[in-house]
Amino acid sequence: MAETARRGDSATVRPFTAMLVTTIIPVFNRPAMLREAVGSVLAQTYRPIEIIIVDDGSTDETPAVADALAREHPEVRVIHQTNRGVGPARDAGRRAARGEFIQHLDSDDLLYPRKFELQVAGLDAHPECGVSYCWTRTRQLDGTFEPHSAKRTGERVESMFPAMLEQRWWHTPTPLYRASLIQRAGEWLALRNEEDWEYDARIASFGVRLHYVEEWLVEVRQHSEDRLSARGLERAVLRDRATAHARILEHAQRAGITPDAPEMRRYARELFLLSRQCGAAGLREESKMLFALARDASGDRRNHAQFRLYALATKLLGWQLTGRLACMTDRLR
């Protein structure tokens, strides 16, 4: 069944269908991989399931493939929308989802057959946990697998924060969420870069505890095809990253992570680095904002002189030239 995306209904609260797993798949111009991704969900040993494909304004045969999948499989629904980016695409799926559990799946990745079976069972047995994650493997361009788990999915982590402040330490298809968390988190930001990190940090701010499955349940594939996120000019990417970083800091502070925490100190350095990059790209307001956030978030007094010197340099040279010089110095280190 195909639908046309409706806007303005993000606050609508829908009742969940008990034990149903909803998989949300945004896609842009990737028909063959979409079939494989949907096939990996249909191959799940667990039922009941539903699959929501969000065609983000594809210009090739992807819309026809998505509609064909919906005709062939009653579990599949399709939403067609104009191209707005991965965040709004996932949000269209969120608004349409009916399941008690939510799975995000990029169209170039695959789920292994027992993912839902093991993760739903884990969350059912551990009501104190809001998210279940698992071992995730990376397939290289030549078809071989990385020998180790992707990112930090080979480690047992009890809660999303503070680790989620340093990096998004899993891939998009790794976690299975309770829909109540997704509903509480609300609308995705209209960003084409780091929108997923910001969303997970928002969920982390709720104090979410994690369930862990020590089995390979997800495959992330490296490939040469175009990706849905981060297309466009470098300035646009940096602008989105600045927005995401500022929001991630808000979520961490709301969760009670203080400047003396090592994760916050490292994040303050990340904010300062991004401030320099934005300045070099001519994004003056973003650079100023990130600099102020980095200075306030830094709990290391040894950095205070560095911030004072940088502020003085911007007054003398301007934010762009100071950023360019600082980035040149960063590359030489």
285 residue type, one letter: E
% helix / strand / coil in the chain, to the nearest 5? 45, 20, 35
How many angstroms separate the Cα of 297 from the Cα of each of 7, 239, 257, 282?
A: 36, 20, 10, 24
What is the structure's pLDDT at 13? 59
Please, is 326 exposed, middle or buried when counting C-beta atoms within 10 Å of its C-beta (0-12, 13-18, 19+)? buried
Dist CA 263 CA 167 (whole Å): 10
What are the φ and ψ backbone dihedral angles of 7, each rounded to 5 degrees?
A: -110, 155
Is the CB of residue 323 less than 8 Å from the CB of residue 277?
yes
At 10 the pLDDT is 42
97-to-1, 301, 303 alpha-carbon distances in Å = 14, 47, 46
Low pLDDT (below 50) residues in the chain: 3-11, 228-232
Judge residue 279's burial from the number of C-beta atoms within 10 Å of its C-beta, 0-12 exposed, 13-18 middle, 19 or more buried: buried
Under 8 Å between Cβ of 266 and 298: no
Residue 143 has what pLDDT? 87
**pLDDT at 233 (0 to 100):** 57
The reported pLDDT for the residue numbered 9 is: 44
Domains of the chain: 2-221 (3.90.550.10), 258-332 (no CATH)
Quote the pLDDT of residue 165.
96
The answer to whether 30 and 63 have CB atoms below 8 angstroms apart is no
**pLDDT score of 2:** 53
Strands 99-104 and 176-178 come out as antiparallel
pLDDT score recorded for residue 226: 56
Side-chain half-sphere exposure of 78, counting CA atoms within 13 A: 23
| Residue 80 near residue 4, CB atoms below 8 Å | yes
* C-alpha 18, offset from chain centre: 25
DSSP string, 104-162: E--TT-EE-TTHHHHHHHHHHH-TTEEEEEEEEEEE-TTS-B-SS-STTTTS--SBSTT
* Beta pairing class for 76-81 and 49-56: parallel
Amino acid 197: pLDDT = 98
Per-residue confidence (pLDDT) for residue 142, from 0 to 100: 87
DSSP sequence for 216-265: EEEEEE--SS--SSS-S-HHHHHHHHHHHHHHHHHHHHHTT--TTSHHHH
Angle subtended at Cα 17 by Cα 16 and Cα 19, rounded to the nearest 5 degrees: 110
| DSSP letter assigned to residue 205 | T
| Chain position carrying tokens 């990376």 | 138
Judged by DSSP in three states, 75 sits in coil
